[in-house]
């Protein structure tokens, strides 16, 4: 089974996957990267009104084959109040 590496970045911290995961194919690696994004957001929020969470997949040769990001943008509207 191929090994895929899923690197993450939450605007503050880049984490390079140095162990990898045995996954059946690139689609399974894509799904794992996408699944990581909401978990990253839950762990970091609330922490400001603008954040981007990124995950990328590298194959066994180190080539990035997939990238995904999740962006949070919050803005106060008329009548709202800042904390």
| Mean pLDDT along residues 27-44 | 93
Judge whether 24 lies within some domain: yes
| Mean pLDDT along residues 37-41 | 91
Per-residue pLDDT of 48-79, as tens digits, reads 678 899 999 999 999 999 999 999 888 888 87
Judge whether 38 lies within some domain: yes
E-strand stretches of the chain? 3-9, 14-15, 21-22, 50-58, 64-73
Q: Give me the domain span that covers residue 68.
A: 3-73
Q: What is the pLDDT of residue 12?
A: 85
Judge whether 80 lies within some domain: no
Count up the domains in the chain and report the number: 1
Q: What is the pLDDT of residue 47?
A: 65
CB 9 within 8 A of CB 15: yes
Judge whether 83 lies within some domain: no
Query: pTM to 2 decimals?
Result: 0.83
Q: What is the pLDDT of residue 50?
A: 83
């Amino acid at each position: 089974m191929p090994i895929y590496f899923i690197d993450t970045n939450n605007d503050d911290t880049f984490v390079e996957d140095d162990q990898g995961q045995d996954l059946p194919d690139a689609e399974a690696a894509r799904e794992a990267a996408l699944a990581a994004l909401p978990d990253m957001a839950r762990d970091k929020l609330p922490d400001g009104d603008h954040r981007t969470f990124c995950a990328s997949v590298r194959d066994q040769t180190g080539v990035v084959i997939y990238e995904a990001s999740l962006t949070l943008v919050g803005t106060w509207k008329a009548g709202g109040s800042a904390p």
